[in-house]
Chains A and B, each alone.
Chain A
Amino acid sequence: MHRYICDFILDITQNSFEAKSTQVELFLFEDDRYLKVIIKDNGKGMSSDVLEKVLDPYYTDGLKHKNRKVGLGLPFLVQSVRESGGSFDINSKPNEGTQVYCSFDLCNVDTPPIGDISSTFLTLFSDPNANELIIRREINTSKGSSHYEFSKSELLEILGDFSTVSSLCLLRDFLQSQEEDLQQYYVNRTLIFK
């Protein structure tokens, strides 16, 4: 089971990369009480039959690891959300794409710590399977509001590549500076662990 909310986000967004999508959107919205996450892709999608099965940890399409009988990404997420008073929804259409929605109750003691948001974005942007990735991060709490939004293509145009140490470090510093700027609006982050 994953330790941080960010680990769930990383895992599920990777599914979108692997679904032959040309564009993936990740939206993180935080208010005083909830962290809401939307992961949307334009990939191959799933039929209603498959959609019914994907929350079963013993279901896999068998394409990634042909001898394995488990698929744990979504079941992990659903289990964690159910344990901690959050919510979950998934919609998918073959050849159109998939959208996963989940929310975490930041006041619930069973909610996992959020984890390191900027490092998660770094990992996602530099994932070789990601074509276009658009990340939008918003915070709107009683302390104020702010947001940032970047696409992989615009960052790649500036940095040239996402595999050399120098460009990854620049990307890391850049994303950290964005998230640090939002920290002044954090509420209910007693659970945060970095």
Chain B
Amino acid sequence: MAKMTLEELRNLRASKQKSLQKRSIEGKEGQIIIGMGTCGIAAGAKTVLDAFLSELDAKGITNISVTQTGCMGLCHVEPTVEVVVPNMPDVIYGNVDAKVAKQIVQDHLIDHKLVSDHVFDRPAADIYVKDGDK
């Protein structure tokens, strides 16, 4: 990729905005929040953030925001990711790596199914299937 100037970035942004406006976005916005404390960083949270971005971009999902937060208090299962989307319970996933991030995008965001092996907090135990129903 050739070195991009700020002006080129501005133009790219403008053309991307146009194509986004053309597409009718259905549904409300959701949020993916990645724990980026010392514990998260040590466990590879930055790779997870990169993976979410690439996967959401590849699947053309634009109505989700990707943000960071500090330690969520679940240091033993870092990297942790909180997913908040309409029509699904709010979930904190643990032990997330690039592969699991892809799975969360497909299963949780697109198919509206929990990635049960990685649920570490919320919802209540009777909602998700223990051990992925194995």
Q: Is the CB of A163 within 8 A of B36?
A: no
Q: Is the CB of A165 within 8 A of B67?
A: no
Interchain pairs with CB closer than 8 A, number = 96
Query: Is B9 in the interface zone, CB < 8 Å from A?
Result: yes
| Distance of A6 from chain B, by nearest CB (Å) | 7
A163 closest partner in B (C-beta): B65
Q: What 1/0 mask marks residues of chain A from 158 to 170 whose CB sits below 8 Å from any chain B CB?
A: 1110011111111
| Distance of A65 from chain B, by nearest CB (Å) | 7
Chain A residues 1-58 with CB under 8 Å of chain B are 1-3, 6-7, 10-11, 14
Q: Is the CB of B53 within 8 A of A172?
A: yes
Q: Is the CB of B66 within 8 A of A7?
A: no
Q: Is the CB of A158 within 8 A of B6?
A: yes
B59 closest partner in A (C-beta): A165
Residue from the list A116, A154, A181 in contact with B6, Cβ < 8 A: A154
Contacts of B38 in A (CB 8 A): 11, 72-73, 76
| Distance of A167 from chain B, by nearest CB (Å) | 7
User: How far is B123's CA from A54's CA once the two chains are assembled, in angstroms?
Assistant: 38
User: How far is B3's CA from A180's CA once the two chains are assembled, in angstroms?
Assistant: 7
Chain A residues 168-193 with CB under 8 Å of chain B are 168-170, 172-174, 176-178, 180-181
Q: Is the CB of B10 within 8 A of A158?
A: yes
Residue from the list B16, B49, B62, B71 in contact with A123, Cβ < 8 A: B49
| Distance of A27 from chain B, by nearest CB (Å) | 20
Given the known interface contacts A123-B49, A127-B36, A173-B4, the answer about A159 and B9 at a Cβ–Cβ threshold of 8 Å is yes
Given the known interface contacts A6-B46, A123-B49, the answer about A169 and B70 at a Cβ–Cβ threshold of 8 Å is no
User: How far is B33's CA from A128's CA once the two chains are assembled, in angstroms?
Assistant: 11
Q: Is the CB of A165 within 8 A of B57?
A: yes
User: How far is B6's CA from A7's CA once the two chains are assembled, in angstroms?
Assistant: 27
User: How far is B13's CA from A154's CA once the two chains are assembled, in angstroms?
Assistant: 14
User: How far is B41's CA from A64's CA once the two chains are assembled, in angstroms?
Assistant: 17
In order of increasing CB-CB distance, the 7 nearest A-B pairs are: A181-B3, A163-B65, A177-B4, A177-B1, A165-B56, A169-B57, A158-B10
B interface residues (Cβ-Cβ under 8 A, vs A): 1-4, 6, 9-10, 12-13, 16, 20, 36, 38, 41-42, 44, 46, 49-50, 53, 56-57, 61-62, 64-71, 73
Subset of 18 A-B contacts with CB under 8 Å: A65-B71, A65-B73, A116-B46, A119-B49, A123-B46, A123-B68, A127-B36, A127-B68, A163-B66, A164-B62, A165-B62, A166-B62, A168-B53, A168-B66, A178-B4, A180-B3, A181-B2, A181-B3
Assuming A6-B46, A177-B3, A177-B4, what are 10 further A-B pairs, CB within 8 angstroms?
Answer: A1-B42, A65-B71, A72-B38, A122-B50, A160-B13, A164-B62, A164-B65, A165-B66, A169-B53, A170-B12
